[in-house]
């Protein structure tokens, strides 16, 4: 299986060896799109996809994502970035260029409920999740067999609030050793400390089993049942120090009614959780998310 996945990733890299993405955030003003397009044209780049958004045509914020083909981007990326600095300074841009060839490395944190982990692993096995799943960390042993059967390193690190800082030191060390680009909390039922969150700002994606901002915190399905809701949902968001209040990436819902008890709602909700988290992870891999304050722009 590991060989099959490796071949899938290598095929993807070969097909996109000359492709890159440019993400931009800056104050809105006339001429940004024209200037960026002209710059890419002068550097022999062919724009494959372009999306832009402004919060307000008069003095708002401007966001842009461009995917482009450029010959020999592997050797010319540094020169391209250096040349773009002048434009970035002129328009006061927060920007980055990434090569599609550079497969992102992700770590998955999970506890006892494995449905979200299984979904990510399935998407990865089928080649629909173009990532290097470098390791899985869990405070329970339940997922060891499925993870190790796919050749992915598994680390069992018991965790509770009394030893949280010691646990996070081990986790941060592993994340650094594996050179991880971002972390996915696939139903990891531990609260992260501000130090951990700060070390990976806007690089930790969580799935919460409710349609936020409703039912923040623990046992949302039970509380939803008690409240008699007719819709339940799930929310994928970036982690911040405020519990379940980070920038929202994706959400979805399903109808329920008076015949559904809390266990029925949980089963329905788990299906939503899987798809919502998988979409958010794919968008992160595709460089489609820009965080602005406590919101996201998803192209």
Catalytic, 244? Answer yes
Look-up: residue for tokens 């680390």? 155
Q: Looking at residue 296, what is its pLDDT?
A: 98
CATH of the domain at 24: 3.30.70.260
Average of per-residue pLDDT across 229-253: 96
Q: Which residues pair with 163 in a beta bridge?
A: none
Are 141 and 32 in a shared domain? no
When divided into structural domains, the chain yields a total of 2
Alpha helix segments (H runs only) across the chain:
2-15, 32-42, 73-91, 115-125, 144-148, 164-177, 194-199, 220-227, 262-285
**Does any domain span residue 5?**
no
Are 215 and 159 in a shared domain? yes
Q: In this model, does residue 168 exceed pLDDT 80?
A: yes
Average of per-residue pLDDT across 6-14: 91
Check if the beta carbon of residue 117 is closer than 8 Å to that of residue 23.
no
Q: In this model, does residue 158 exceed pLDDT 90?
A: yes
Higher pLDDT, 2 or 26: 26
Average of per-residue pLDDT across 271-281: 98
Q: Which of 32-36, 135-139, 245-249, 258-262 has the lowest mean pLDDT?
A: 258-262
Q: In this model, does residue 266 exceed pLDDT 90?
A: yes
**Does any domain span residue 39?**
yes
Are 68 and 126 in a shared domain? no
**Interacting residues of 126 by C-beta distance below 8 A, sequence separation 6+:** none
Average of per-residue pLDDT across 124-134: 95
Query: Within 10 Å of residue 52's Cβ, how many Cβ atoms?
Result: 16
**Does any domain span residue 186?**
yes
Q: Which of 28, 132, 181, 244 is catalytic?
A: 244
For residue 152, which of 189, 196, 185, 118 has the smallest C-alpha distance?
A: 118
Are 47 and 152 in a shared domain? no
**Does any domain span residue 113?**
yes
pLDDT per position as a tens digit, 41-70: 999 999 999 999 999 888 899 999 999 999
Q: In this model, does residue 3 exceed pLDDT 80?
A: no
Rounded to 5 degrees, φ, ψ at 66 are -125, 130
Are 167 and 290 in a shared domain? yes
Last residue of a domain, one of 59, 80, 99: 99
**Does any domain span residue 187?**
yes
Q: In this model, does residue 217 exceed pLDDT 80?
A: yes
Last residue of a domain, one of 99, 132, 147: 99
**What percent of the chain has pLDDT above 70?**
99
HSE-CB of 255 using CA atoms within 13 angstroms:
1
Q: In this model, does residue 162 exceed pLDDT 90?
A: no
Are 276 and 130 in a shared domain? yes
**Does any domain span residue 110?**
yes
Higher pLDDT, 214 or 69: 69
Average of per-residue pLDDT across 97-108: 97
Q: Could you give the CA distance from residue 41 to residue 39 in angstroms, rounded to a whole number?
A: 5
pLDDT per position as a tens digit, 14-24: 999 999 999 99
Are 76 and 123 in a shared domain? no
Are 50 and 194 in a shared domain? no
Rounded to 5 degrees, φ, ψ at 224 are -65, -40
Q: Looking at residue 1, what is its pLDDT?
A: 60
Are 81 and 223 in a shared domain? no
Last residue of a domain, one of 99, 132, 158: 99
Average of per-residue pLDDT across 173-193: 97
Q: Looking at residue 6, what is its pLDDT?
A: 86
Q: In this model, does residue 208 exceed pLDDT 90?
A: yes
Q: Looking at residue 107, what is its pLDDT?
A: 98
Are 52 and 161 in a shared domain? no
pLDDT band at 247 (very low <50, low <70, confident <90, very high): very high
CATH of the domain at 219: 3.40.50.170
Average of per-residue pLDDT across 209-213: 90
* Domain assignment of residue 88, given as a range: 17-99
Are 223 and 277 in a shared domain? yes
**Does any domain span residue 214?**
yes
Q: In this model, does residue 4 exceed pLDDT 90?
A: no
DSSP 161: G
**Does any domain span residue 293?**
yes
Are 56 and 199 in a shared domain? no
Average pLDDT, the chain: 95
Question: Using CB atoms within 10 A of its CB, is residue 34 exposed (0-12), middle (13-18) or buried (19+)?
Answer: exposed
């Amino acid at each position: 299986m590991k060989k099959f996945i490796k071949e899938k990733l290598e095929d993807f890299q070969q097909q996109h060896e000359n492709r890159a993405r440019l993400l931009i955030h800056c104050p809105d003003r006339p001429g940004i799109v024209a200037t960026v397009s002209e710059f890419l044209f002068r550097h022999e780049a062919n724009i494959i996809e372009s999306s832009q958004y402004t919060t307000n045509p008069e003095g708002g914020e401007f966001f842009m994502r461009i995917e482009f083909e450029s010959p020999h981007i592997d050797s010319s990326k540094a020169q391209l970035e250096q040349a773009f600095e002048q434009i970035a300074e002129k328009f006061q841009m927060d920007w980055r260029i990434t090569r599609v060839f550079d497969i992102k490395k992700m770590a998955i944190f999970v506890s006892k409920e494995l449905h979200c982990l299984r979904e990510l692993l399935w998407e990865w096995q089928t080649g629909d999740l173009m990532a290097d799943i470098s390791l899985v960390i869990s405070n329970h042993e339940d997922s060891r067999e499925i993870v190790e059967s796919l050749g992915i390193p598994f680390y069992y690190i018991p965790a509770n609030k009394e030893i949280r800082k010691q646990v996070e030191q081990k986790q941060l060390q592993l994340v650094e050793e594996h050179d991880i680009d971002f972390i996915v909390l696939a139903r990891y039922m531990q609260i992260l400390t501000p130090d951990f969150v700060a070390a990976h700002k806007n690089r930790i994606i969580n799935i919460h089993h409710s349609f936020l901002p409703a039912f923040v915190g623990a046992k949302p399905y039970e509380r939803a049942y008690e409240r008699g809701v007719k819709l339940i949902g799930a929310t994928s968001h970036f982690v911040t120090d405020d519990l379940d209040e980070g920038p929202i990436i994706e959400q979805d819902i399903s109808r329920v009614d008076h015949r559904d008890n809390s266990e029925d709602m949980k089963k329905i909700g788990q299906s939503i959780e899987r798809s919502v988290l998988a979409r958010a992870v794919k968008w992160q891999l595709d460089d489609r998310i820009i965080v602005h304050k406590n919101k996201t722009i998803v192209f």
